[in-house]
Structure 1
Amino acid sequence: MSSGWGKTPSLPVSQGTFRSELLLLSPELLAAFKTHYIQDYPPARHVSLCAPMSQGLKFMWGNLLHAVRDDLPVKLQEHQAMGLLLTLHQDGLAGPLLIERRYNLTEQVRQIIMMSPAKLWTAQEIAQHLSLGASTLRRRLQQESRSYRQIVEEVRMSFALAQLQTTTLPIGEIASRCGYLSSSRFTARFRQHYGCLPKNVR
């Protein structure tokens, strides 16, 4: 696991001081975290890397920095990093860290939508998360024979199937979690997508 830490020169007292701390988490560590803790990408409450420093997050951040600075065994550093990621996840802040840029654009868009399947995503919002213009997003997805609307529906249907197979939630509740205000609309889309009714999956 790579890490780095720095502190800016002190500024005049009237301007206050500023300290910047940086930790780099390896793709392997993030992949292991997703394998152990992320089953269905529950909705994220925030999709920005500028996260408020809650008490739990401050505690886990300090633990990880301590482990890195004191050069503790790598396994212990990884354990603390998992704790930090889990805190971010529980606070609804881990979403952007789970987007893997090495994937094609379709998969990157899919991972963004997975953060919140119920959200009424627009092309502009998705493009902003990827630092693209909306027209560029549409053009590049078209090159992959996809559209953002297709991907939204695919993610919602996949999420719905997982919920039906692993929970006892009412179908109306699952429909709501997938962004459908009408259970009948959800049922129709599910049947069109999978060729069966939601109730037949259970």
Structure 2
Amino acid sequence: MAEARVAHGLPLRVRQTETDLLFADVEWGSPALVRVLQGQKQLRRADESLAARPGELLYLPAGTRVDVRNVPAQGAYEAEGVILSFDLARYLPPGAEARERQQVCKLRVAEHEELDAALSRCLEAFERGLPAAVQRSRLLELVAWLGEAGIDPFVAASDLRVRLKRMLGERPAHPWRLPEVARQLGMSDDTLQRHLRREGTGFQQLLLEIRMDHALMLLWTTERPLAVVAEQSGYDSPSRFAERFRDRFGVLPSELRRRR
């Protein structure tokens, strides 16, 4: 199985014409900054809701679990943005100040023009296929402007679930096994299983969530063939992948691709 490792960042471009697609309990494995171009992006969790419109940026920290609905205006919803890899953190200067605001937040472009411009430069670097070093430098500039807005995308998290999401999400197609993961975390198999039970989940369930959320992101942001999406999400069998995806999101991958 070919394994795809997440690069320093991934461009996010979504265009959707359907109004009846609601993705429930989606978890963002990596921090992301989204710019809405047309329509609305609606997020809901518990009793909270948030809607981003054109002229607004939406920051989603790693570990965010929300229901997502993209609402078209004049026949279409369109958004673009960047998903940041935690690998970028090792290029930051040591002792960088940790910020406090790490929840989902909405930023007005008119008040954060430099951040918006940095996002445009990142997207340009991806679109033009500029060298990896140039892409990385532009992503680091984006991280710096996020810092000016009081946001640290790579703030350390003590939550074991978030730590696992970060580690496994960097290599979603890898044939992860619990002993290997426990060893990398410096704990025994039993200790890891006990921690996961306390958080109401198990290792296989967590791995399934990571792979399905990764597949959803690939279907939203790329034109890769469905067989490639399946493989890069940890599945040799496209039919098995499609079944798992439908169980998770209520729609087949092929149907989601047609509705874009």
TM-score bin, normalised by smaller chain: 0.5 to 0.7
Q: Which runs of 5+ in 2 are unaligned?
A: 1-29, 34-80, 95-132, 140-152
| Matched residue, 1:162 | 217
The superposition leaves residues 162-199 of structure 1 with CA deviations (integer Å, 9 ceiling, x where unpaired) of: 11111111100000000100000000100111111001
Q: What CA distance in whole angstroms lies between the structure 2 residues aligned with 1:201 and 1:112?
A: 27
Q: Which runs of 5+ in 1 are unaligned?
A: 1-32, 50-59, 66-82, 90-97
SS of the aligned residue for 1:108 comes to: helix
Aligned pairs (5 A) from 1:1-202: 35=32, 39=83, 41=85, 86=136, 101-202=156-257
SS of the aligned residue for 1:39 comes to: strand
- TM-score, with normalisation over the residues of structure 1? 0.53
Normalized per residue, the structure richer in helix is: 1
Residues 190, 122 of structure 1: alpha-carbon distance in 2 compared, 3 angstrom cutoff: same
SS of the aligned residue for 2:83 comes to: coil
* Structure 1 runs of 4+ with >3 Å offset: 33-38, 98-101
The superposition leaves residues 16-51 of structure 1 with CA deviations (integer Å, 9 ceiling, x where unpaired) of: xxxxxxxxxxxxxxxxx9657972759x8xxxx9xx
Say whether the 8 Å CA contact 2:172–2:210 is kept in structure 1.
yes
- TM-score, with normalisation over the residues of structure 2? 0.42
Residues 185, 147 of structure 1: alpha-carbon distance in 2 compared, 3 angstrom cutoff: same
Residues 107, 124 of structure 1: alpha-carbon distance in 2 compared, 3 angstrom cutoff: same
CA-based RMSD of the aligned residues comes to: 3.5
Q: What CA distance in whole angstroms lies between the structure 1 residues aligned with 2:192 and 2:182?
A: 6
Q: With CA pairs under 8 Å and 6+ residues apart, which has the higher RCO, 1 or 2? A: 2
Normalized per residue, the structure richer in strand is: 2
Say whether the 8 Å CA contact 1:113–1:155 is kept in structure 2.
yes
Q: What CA distance in whole angstroms lies between the structure 2 residues aligned with 1:170 and 1:104?
A: 35
Count of aligned pairs between the two proteins: 127
Q: What CA distance in whole angstroms lies between the structure 2 residues aligned with 1:110 and 1:41?
A: 12
Say whether the 8 Å CA contact 1:123–1:148 is kept in structure 2.
yes
Say whether the 8 Å CA contact 1:171–1:198 is kept in structure 2.
yes
Residues 164, 40 of structure 1: alpha-carbon distance in 2 compared, 3 angstrom cutoff: farther
The superposition leaves residues 54-93 of structure 1 with CA deviations (integer Å, 9 ceiling, x where unpaired) of: xxxxxx89xx79xxxxxxxxxxxxxxxxx7xx48x9xxxx
Q: What CA distance in whole angstroms lies between the structure 1 residues aligned with 2:166 and 2:201?
A: 15
Say whether the 8 Å CA contact 1:113–1:152 is kept in structure 2.
yes
